[in-house]
């Protein structure tokens, strides 16, 4: 069992965007940050349910397909699930509609906002926990049945798992853009390369894929 993280970041390290406005609630930066990934055939099939076979099939798609392979459980922060946006909406079921792309148990760290589990027909089950990274990982590892556990995001949750030394493989897809502000993945991670092998690869899109793998 390995603990894996995959994140899209800008060249200046930002994993979040800050250009949302009432008129443009998602902003333009998020689309630019993840453009190479959302263009892949894997994303279109797995996340959008597009069976047309369209989408890119190069290096970005290889990482996109690997993202879903061998994952038995996922952990995410309250923000990624949407609890900060909809704290009082007990019917909130996440951003992903009725076919969340996870298809495995997902453990949401609630920071005090526990709620009943939510089960979907495709195998995705959201469980809500108010525990430490270590405890969440123990729960997720048990649910994963020997397969890997992903820490999905957001960046604050990822950083807490990295700081606790719990991540075996970190893959960042670096978009060649500078966002200038937001939440940085790299803050306080001095020496993360110690005891890890770092490999890099440039995709056709211009995205640079960097992987830190524990030796």
> In this complex, which beta carbon is closest to a copy of itself, that of residue 114 or of residue 178?
178
**Count of residues that bind a copy of itself according to CB under 8 A:** 25
Q: Kindly tell me which residue out of 69, 90, 98, 188 binds a copy of itself, with binding defined by CB under 8 A.
A: 188
Question: Could you give the CA distance from residue 139 to residue 154 in angstroms, rounded to a whole number?
Answer: 19
Question: Could you give the CA distance from residue 179 to residue 158 in angstroms, rounded to a whole number?
Answer: 19
DSSP E strands: which ranges in 81-123?
105-109, 118-119
Site for a copy of itself contains 20 (CB under 8 A): no
DSSP state of 101: S
Site for a copy of itself contains 198 (CB under 8 A): yes
* Site map 111..150 versus a copy of itself, x via CB under 8 A: ----------------------------------------
Q: Are 36 and 172 in contact (CB under 8 A)?
A: no
Site for a copy of itself contains 164 (CB under 8 A): no
Report the nearest approach of a copy of itself to the CB of residue 102 (Å). Answer: 29
> In this complex, which beta carbon is closest to a copy of itself, that of residue 85 or of residue 199?
199
Q: Kindly tell me which residue out of 87, 145, 195, 206 binds a copy of itself, with binding defined by CB under 8 A.
A: 206
Alpha carbon separation from 21 to 31, 59, 84 (Å, rounded): 14, 33, 17
- The candidate with the shortest Cα–Cα distance to 173, out of 17, 38, 21, 3, is 38
Report the nearest approach of a copy of itself to the CB of residue 154 (Å). Answer: 18
Identify the burial level of 3 via C-beta atoms within 10 angstroms of its C-beta, where 0-12 means exposed, 13-18 middle and 19 or more buried: buried
Site for a copy of itself contains 11 (CB under 8 A): yes
The three-class DSSP label of residue 196 is strand
**What is the rounded radius of gyration, in angstroms, for the C-alpha atoms of the chain?**
17
> In this complex, which beta carbon is closest to a copy of itself, that of residue 142 or of residue 193?
193
Residues in the site for a copy of itself, rule: CB under 8 A?
11-13, 176-181, 184, 186, 188-193, 198-202, 206, 208, 210
């Amino acid at each position: 069992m390995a603990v894996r993280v995959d994140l899209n970041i800008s060249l200046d390290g930002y994993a979040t965007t800050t250009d949302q406005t009432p008129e443009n609630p998602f902003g333009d930066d998020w689309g630019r940050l993840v453009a190479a990934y959302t263009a892949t055939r894997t994303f279109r099939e797995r996340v959008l349910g597009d069976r047309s076979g369209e989408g890119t099939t190069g290096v970005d798609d290889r990482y996109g397909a690997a993202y879903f392979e061998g994952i038995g459980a996922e952990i995410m922060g309250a923000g990624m699930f949407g609890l900060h946006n909809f704290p009082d909406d007990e019917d909130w079921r996440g951003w992903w509609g009725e076919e969340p792309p996870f298809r495995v148990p997902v453990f949401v760290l609630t920071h005090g906002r526990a709620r009943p589990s939510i089960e979907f027909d495709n195998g995705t089950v959201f469980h809500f926990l108010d525990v430490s990274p270590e405890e969440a990982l123990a729960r997720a590892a048990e649910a994963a049945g020997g397969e890997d556990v992903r820490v999905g995001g957001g960046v604050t949750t990822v950083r807490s798992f990295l700081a606790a030394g719990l991540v075996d493989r970190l893959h960042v897809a670096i978009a060649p853009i500078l966002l200038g502000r937001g939440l940085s993945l790299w803050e306080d991670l001095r020496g993360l390369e110690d005891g890890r092998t770092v490999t890099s690869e440039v995709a056709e899109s211009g995205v640079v894929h960097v992987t830190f793998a524990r030796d």
